[in-house]
Amino acid sequence: MLDHCSISHKGGIVLWSRSFTPAAAQAAASSSSPVNSLIREALIEGRTAEDKYEKDGYAVKWSFVNDLELIFVVAYQRILQLTYIDELLATLKNIFVKLFEPFLATFLASLHAATSGSAIIASGQSAASWNFAKAFENWDAVFDRILHGLESKAAQDRKARYKPVQISIEPSPPSDDMSTIPSQSAETTVDEEQIARNVQALKNRLRGKGARGGRRGPGRSDIGSGRESLPGSDSDTPVKRKTKTKTQRKWGEQAPTESDMASLDFSYEKPGDADANRGSLDLNALVDRDSLGTRTQNGMYEVKDWEFGLKDSAADDMISKALMSSQTSKPTSSSGSLGALGSLFARLTGSKVLTEDDLKPVLEGMKQHLMKKNVAKEIADKVCEGVGESLVGKKVGGFQTINAAVRLALSNSLTRILTPKTSTDLLLSIRTKLSAPLPSSQQRMPYSITFVGVNGVGKSTNLSKVCFWLIQNGLRVLIAACDTFRSGAVEQLRVHVRNLSMLGVNGATDSKGRVELYERGYGKDAAGIAKEAIAYARDHDFDVVLIDTAGRMQDNEPLMRALAKLVATNNPDKIIFVGEALVGNEAVDQLTKFDRALRDFSAASGGVGKQRGIDGDVICQVCAKLFTRFI
């Protein structure tokens, strides 16, 4: 961790500086700071010929930019072994000069003009007319990105170099010397348990001696082996040791009681806690209002669009522009904005009508390019098929014509793939079912949604997010805890329900009564719990039932049959698959096998939900950088 970093002119004017700790800030402000000592002793007086200066427990490194008369200084604790300091100084010099070279050149010229006009000019007077804070206002964000990147790289290098060394220590053979026998200090009080442990340790050492040394003389075997044989027994068979059983974990001196376990369960809202928490917690401070959505004129709550971190992207753009300045002089490639794909289709230019034979090698190269960019093979085949259908029979001329034609064909192909076959307006589907006319003898059923997926992708968390969205749109939601296998699954949902009930809706202080949890503990049949939850929601006028299920791998047939039983028994209105973007094409395999298993096993198990498959999916853990990597 750094303590101080500064960028100064050789004349003593500080252009930019930052201290990372209060102690470093206080030290930097004093005349005896490590940086001032560096300038006075190392740079002016030349007392050191090394590239590192040490003072008062600090290590200071520096680097020059002679053309602009700049000094880059970094100070850190001498005890720390920071391997990235040299690379940090080089990167700071490179990027700072490239970003602010026009300003620095103007500043340097004016400084030279001022010094030539008078023999003695105070540095403070010469710097008074320059607003360095405004000139370098974006440098803080760029510096943070550079420092964070180098620290992360150094941490990864340390992990790569670290290899745990396993040291095997073989016990030395016991000696006949009585001084090796464990002794107890006379000043220490020895209880009975300690004496027993010492005796047992001595027996173990003697037993080990007998096992290694064998018979070395008369009477040694009995003593060394530690066996307690009957008098006159000639048996040399060793006594079997008792296997140690795992002792039950104890909380303190004894096992926890039911009252102790209840006091440790913080998922329940105990009597009086609600009012106390509401008085002690500031909900407005806990909730980020900027991340909440907005309401339309008709009162519908819409989720806020993702802005992909504008501040971080701006800093990244500044760094990229500075580091890529050497590439700006290169002529723009003739492929245009299509990149590598443009070079593939460049061979098709000419006044001719395109045929399938002309497009076949080009589309094959396009498919290989897409697959290299981690696009699934099935999707790459569909994209190339759509582009081929759009281009066959067209007459193209110059490169600009084929460029526009390929762009339009690629856009149409992607649109065709991404366009859903059914409506994705979930609110419309819910309200349509709730407002549909029913016979007077029939009771209205709630809208049910089941969340499925593999282990650890975030089904319960995303279920709670969907629940918040439904609550904000004026619907009453019942959450069914059908994950009866994972420890803590019910308690997790209970905490989500408690937090959701504390958030206001349409100006109300809370949303109690709009969300409840239906649970029957662990080890129960998930299909039966879901059926009971839907019946409970029907009797208590809930609008939506969100069914949480246990995670399972797509190749585990017994667990997939149990999930298909839940679907076939309850026939939910929607089955949502929750996947994570970090696994790449593995998510496609998971979704495909979940859909196939549900269709096959639900048809075999019977029930009202025969041959039901996945209706939609939620992709979580998505990094913004995934969207910026365009083909």
Question: What integer pLDDT is reported at residue 570 of this predicted model?
Answer: 92
Radius of gyration for the alpha carbons in the chain, expressed in angstroms and rounded: 37
User: Does 406 score more than 70 pLDDT?
Assistant: yes
The rounded distance, in Å, linking the Cα atoms of 553 and 561 is 12
DSSP assignment of 442-472 equals SPPPPEEEEEE-STTS-HHHHHHHHHHHHHH
pLDDT given for residue 314 in this prediction:
60
Write the DSSP assignment of 299-350 as a string of letters. Answer: --EEPPPP---HHHHHHHHHHHHHHTGGGTTSPPPTTGGGTHHHHHHGGG-S
Mean pLDDT value across residues 66-80:
87
Q: What is the pLDDT of residues 272-282, one digit of tens each?
A: 555 555 555 56
Contact present, 43 and 12 (Cβ < 8 Å): no
Please report the pLDDT score of residue 138 as a whole number: 83
Mean pLDDT over all residues of the chain?
Answer: 76
pTM recorded for the entire structure:
0.55
Above 90 in pLDDT, residue 79?
A: no
State both tokens at 412: 């149409």
89 vs 74: CA distance, rounded Å: 8
β-bridge partners, 390: none
- For the stretch 81-97, pLDDT in tens is 888 888 989 999 889 98
* pLDDT tens digit sequence for 536-561: 999 999 999 999 999 999 999 999 99
Share of the chain above pLDDT 70, in %: 69
218-232, 259-273, 462-476, 566-580: least confident range: 218-232
- 586: tokens are 């593995």
3-state secondary structure of 6: strand
Which phi and psi angles does 499 have, rounded to 5°? -70, -40
* Cβ-based neighbours of 401, under 8 Å, separated by 6 or more: 349
Instruction: Report residue 268's pLDDT band, with 50, 70 and 90 as the boundaries.
Output: low
pLDDT at 542: 94
Q: What are the percentages of helix, strand and coil residues in the chain, rounded to 5? A: 50, 10, 40
The model's confidence at residue 240, banded by pLDDT at 50, 70 and 90, is low
Under the banding of pLDDT at 50, 70 and 90, the label for residue 627 is: very low
CA distance linking residue 57 with residue 81, whole number of Å: 13
Residue at 574: amino acid letter: K
pLDDT at 587: 86
Which tokens is 177 given? Answer: 């010397």
Interval 364-378 mean pLDDT:
86
Q: DSSP states of 249-260 as a string?
A: P-BTTB---HHH
Q: What is the DSSP letter of 291?
A: G
Give dist(CA 76, CA 20) in Å, integer: 10
| pLDDT the model gives residue 202 | 81
